[in-house]
A and B are shown apart, each in its own frame.
Chain A
């Protein structure tokens, strides 16, 4: 009997402690002013991050202000510095340029304002200037596709072949990281040759033009075996150019294999139609919610790891149904 009473008491105390800690976290975040400095507020992916972050952060009691700078690194640094001057409790930044934001990060540290880096990987060696990075391992996003290219070439009966990469901006940031990952993984089969790396700066129209030029350039050499579009819009641009050039698409021996980057609705549709071999998960709502969780943890006094990484998963015919809803934003 005494044991039972003590068990009930202990459970009660544990429950109370849990409730207090949850309440404490809420109380800690309540009324805190958070500045989110974004890149393209109107881009569907970025808009998805902002919307999900705001919803969760505001439900935890935070007051959220959002600024956006497009691709203007100087303007983003200005918006960030304004946030430091106005003494926000926390700043979340999705760097337009991982290098140009460094001086502003240093000023935030000097002012004692915690910073979370969102989605776009921070510059190596700047770990002391921020609390955590919430996003995906961009090298891994490249490696996943590289492994898939090796596998798909084999499954389509090719010993090796020619693959072209149509990339996002290679100046810095995500582009070079994904490129390094894909090169590393493709190296597993030396008979697969990367015959072209073309910078389309994430732009669909540029991607379509580049793809058309690549098809014409390699037509005399037996054509390309595969094309990687670093984001799904670039893979879609490749598909359009291939269709215009009359090149068959699919995953068979005489078909062009097209691989996407981060999943988008149009990519999922192409995947289901058999025009694209695979894509990779990158879900804005996951990033937004994780950012809110990380902010809440910081206000609760928790020390976060330098990387809060979201899973990177290959999306192909086998699991497309699982990702369809999440990739539709």
Chain B
């Protein structure tokens, strides 16, 4: 029973999340700083910024690829939002999302057709998108002058949510359902585990790869566009550093760089863990560098536990028990 629970793909991300929560609650000593709606809201706002990027990047990692372009698409989409302006938010959103999907799909096609490494191709995509954003904005921050819209997307709903975080939660939930209930989930895992075997088994590898990169572009663009609305500004240099936390969240969520592991809900738990750490440590008044130290320690622990030798020993220990 325990063994099957431990083997569940969500067991580790959930254990890390609950472990962090327990440690923070312990450090709070019942003062009510961590166990508060303010902490939950803050955690979910971090989720709103990072979850979609992490989801796209995590899916790419699941098929043993990597999408560096998410940071560029994130910036470019924000700049398009501000350039088209708050007068026509629907057109601005459509343009931003279309740009994200196009960039993602184009990269996917290049990787598939030319049999190139995703790291090289998406590095090119990243630099192209950032360069384009600099040209479009003429190296200036652009205001998104609609404070009402800004307040609307960031206003607290039911104590802990905002419109932005609800959209992110909804998309993650939808992807989790599709992943769990259709063959696509199994195909992604199969493709990441052994691409040749997956091809032989009839998995549409090329189509799936293009679709995942297009979806990753969509996610990064949506996240960037929503952040521009939330902060009422856009900049080619980007408003947030998205790749390191997204990769960290995916790894915490059980995704391996070697591919073939992980679940969308695991990635979501990884992002929530990052948000919880940030919000909880802020609530405790911890010095700024403590967050990086704590996150680094957790990632190191996860990395070590992922090592084949440790896994073998743990399995042997479990077998004896």
- Which residues in A have some Cβ–Cβ distance to B below 8 Å? 38, 41-42, 65-68, 70-75, 77-79, 81-82, 85-86, 97-100, 102-103, 106-107, 169-172, 176, 199
Asked if residues A103 and B288 are in contact (CB atoms below 8 Å), the reply is no
Spell out B's residues near A (CB within 8 Å).
Answer: 33, 38, 41-42, 45-46, 49, 139-141, 143, 147, 150-151, 154, 227, 230-233, 235-237, 239-241, 278-279, 282-283, 285, 287-289
Bound form: Cα–Cα A305–B287 in Å: 31
- Tell me if B154 and A73 are in contact (CB < 8 A): no
A85 surroundings in chain B (CB, below 8 A): 38, 41-42
Contact A97 B141 (CB under 8 A): yes
Q: B141 to chain A: closest CB distance in Å?
A: 4
Is the CB–CB distance between B154 and A171 below 8 Å? no
Residues of B within 8 A of A65 (CB): 285
The 4 residue pairs across chains A and B that have the minimum distance between CB atoms: A74-B240, A99-B233, A85-B38, A68-B288
Asked whether, in the complex, the Cβ of B140 is within 8 Å of the Cβ of A172, the reply is yes
List, in ascending order, chain B residues with CB within 8 A of A107's CB: 151, 154
A199 touches B288 (CB 8 A): no
Are A171 and B233 in touch, CB under 8 angstroms?
Answer: no
With A86-B283, A171-B140 as contacts: A73 and B236 at CB distance below 8 Å: no
User: Is the Cβ of A74 less than 8 Å from the Cβ of B227?
Assistant: yes
Partner of A81, one of B45, B151, B237: B45
Q: Which residue of B140, B240, B289 contacts A75 across the interface (Cβ within 8 Å)?
A: B240
B154, B237, B282, B289, most chain A CB atoms within 10 A: B282
CB pair B240 A67 closer than 8 Å:
no
**Contact of B150 with A103 in the complex, beta carbons under 8 Å:** yes
7 example contacts (A-B, Cβ-Cβ < 8 A) are as follows A41-B288, A42-B289, A75-B241, A86-B33, A99-B233, A100-B232, A102-B147
Q: CB distance A72 to B232 under 8 Å?
A: no
**A85 to chain B: closest residue by CB:** B38
A78, B151: Cβ atoms closer than 8 Å: no
Q: Please give, as numbers and ranges, the residues of chain A lying within 8 Å of B49 by CB-CB distance.
A: 74, 78
A171 CA / B231 CA spacing, docked (Å): 16
Given contact pairs A41-B288, A65-B285, A72-B240, A106 touches B147 in the complex (Cβ within 8 A): yes
Q: Kindly list chain A residues whose C-beta atoms are within 8 Å of the C-beta of B227.
A: 74
- In the complex, what distance in Å separates the CA atom of A65 from the CA atom of B283? 10
Chain A residues, Cβ within 8 Å of B41: 85
- Known contacts A97-B239, A106-B147, A172-B235, A82 near B282 by CB under 8 Å: yes
Q: Distance in Å from the Cβ of B82 to the closest Cβ of chain A?
A: 10
Give every chain B residue within 8 A of A103 (Cβ-Cβ): 147, 150-151, 154, 230-232
Within the complex, which residue of A38, A81, A172 is in contact with B42, where a contact is CB–CB below 8 Å? Answer: A81
Complex: how many Å from CA A171 to CA B82?
A: 14
Whether the pair B38, A82 counts as a contact (CB closer than 8 A) is yes
Is B139 a contact partner of A78 (Cβ separation < 8 A)?
no
Q: How far is the CA of A106 from the CA of B151 in the complex (A)?
A: 9
In the complex, the answer to whether B38 meets A171 with C-beta atoms within 8 Å is no
A100 in contact with B231 (CB, 8 Å): yes
Most buried by A among B151, B278, B279, B288: B288
CB proximity of B135 to chain A, nearest CB, Å: 14
Considering residues B154, B236, B240, which has the most beta carbons from chain A within 10 angstroms of its beta carbon? B240
| A65-B285, A74-B49, A82-B38 known; A99-B143 Cβ under 8 A | yes
Point out the residues of chain B lying under 8 angstroms from A79, CB to CB: 282
Q: How far is the CB of B254 from chain A (nearest CB, A)?
A: 25
Minimum CB–CB distance for B71 against chain A, Å: 12
Interface centre among B33, B233, B235 (most CB of A within 10 A): B233
In the complex, chain A residues whose CB is within 8 Å of the CB of B285: 65
**CA distance in complex: A226, B83 (Å):** 37
| B-side contacts of A170, CB under 8 Å | 139-140
- B-side contacts of A73, CB under 8 Å: 231, 233, 235, 239-240
In the bound assembly, the distance between CA atoms of A73 and B288 in angstroms comes to 15
Which B residues touch A72, using CB under 8 A? 239-241
Q: Are B231 and A78 in contact (CB under 8 A)?
A: no
- 18 extra interface residue pairs, beta carbon distance < 8 Å, beyond A99-B141, A99-B233, A106-B151: A66-B287, A67-B288, A68-B288, A72-B241, A73-B231, A73-B233, A74-B239, A75-B240, A82-B38, A82-B42, A85-B42, A86-B38, A102-B147, A103-B147, A106-B147, A171-B140, A172-B141, A172-B235
Residue of B nearest to A102 (CB): B232
